[in-house]
Amino acid sequence: MEYIKIKNADKIVKDSPYVVNNPSVYKNKWHKEAFKNNNPIYLELGMGRGDFIIDMAKTYPNINFIGLEVNDSQMVNAINRLQKENLKNLKLINIDANEVANIFGKEIDTIYLTFCDPWPKKIDERRRFTHESFLKLYDRIFKKNKHIILKTDNKGFFAYSLETLSGYWYTFERVSLDLHHDEYPIKNIMTNYEKQYFKEGRPIYYLDAKFEG
C-alpha cells in the first residue's frame, strides 16, 4: 500500500510520549517497566492510522494495548489523534513486524490483525501476517495460550488465513463472513478502513482463533 508522506514524520514519531523509541530494552519487562502493571497485553500488527487500537485502549482501561506500524507517516495520524488523550494503557512502536521477537518475550496475550495488507500475489505469500513463518514468530511472543483476531475485506486472504491457522492447530471460536450483518453480533470497534468499507456495503470477514497449549 502507498501512503501520503508527511513532512518530518520521523521526528514527530520520535518525540511522541506514546511512542517507545527503543522497544528492545523492554523485552521481558513490558508489564513491569513500560506499563507498570500486570494487565494482559494486546498487540495490533499494522495499526495504520490507529483508530482501532486507540478506541480499544479507551474502551478497555484494564488491558494494555500496543500498536505496531512500520510507516511513520501513518503513525503520525495516530499521534495527532492522541494529542488530547491521556491513555496510560497504550504504547506505539514504529518498527517492522518481523522484529517482534526482538522486542517481546512471552508477554503477549492477543494479536490483532486488522485489515493488514493481503499481499495477493503468490510471490509475496511469505509477507502475509498469517503465513506459517509469522505464526512461528508469534509462538515466540505469546504466553502459553495463543489468540489471534483477524478482520479483513479481502476474501482470498481470509480463506488463506483460515487454512494456515487450522493447519497450525488453531481452533476457531468465531468465524463470520459478514461481520456487520451477522445473526449473532459481537461488540465491534472499527478501524478507519472498516468504517469506509461499511459505508460502501462491503462484507467484513472475521475470525477469532485460539490455541491452548
The answer, as to whether pTM is greater than 0.85, is yes
**How many C-beta atoms lie closer than 10 Å to residue 136's C-beta?**
11
Q: How many angstroms separate the CA atoms of 113 and 43, rounded?
A: 9
- The DSSP result for 146-186, as a single string, is EEEEEEES-HHHHHHHHHHHHHTT-EEEEEESSGGG-SS--
Q: How many angstroms separate the CA atoms of 55 and 44, rounded?
A: 12
Q: How many angstroms separate the CA atoms of 165 and 130, rounded?
A: 7
The catalytic residue among 10, 55, 117, 182 is 117
Q: How many angstroms separate the CA atoms of 163 and 160, rounded?
A: 5
Residue (of 195, 188, 155) closest to 174 by Cα position: 188
Which phi and psi angles does 190 have, rounded to 5°? -90, 150
Instruction: Please say if 10 is a catalytic residue.
Output: no
The answer to whether the beta carbons of residues 75 and 11 sit under 8 Å apart is no
Residue (of 153, 152, 212, 207) closest to 175 by Cα position: 207
The answer to whether the beta carbons of residues 66 and 78 sit under 8 Å apart is no
Per the listing, cell 511513520 goes with: 72
Q: What is the DSSP letter of 33?
A: I
Nearest-5° Cα angle at 92, 45 to 52: 55
Instruction: Going residue by residue through the chain, which has 213 residues, state the pLDDT in tens, using 9 for 90 and above.
Output: 555 677 788 899 999 999 999 999 999 999 999 999 999 999 999 999 999 999 999 999 999 999 999 999 999 999 999 998 999 999 999 999 999 999 999 999 999 999 999 999 999 999 999 999 999 999 999 998 999 999 999 999 999 999 999 999 999 999 999 999 998 888 899 998 899 999 999 999 999 999 987
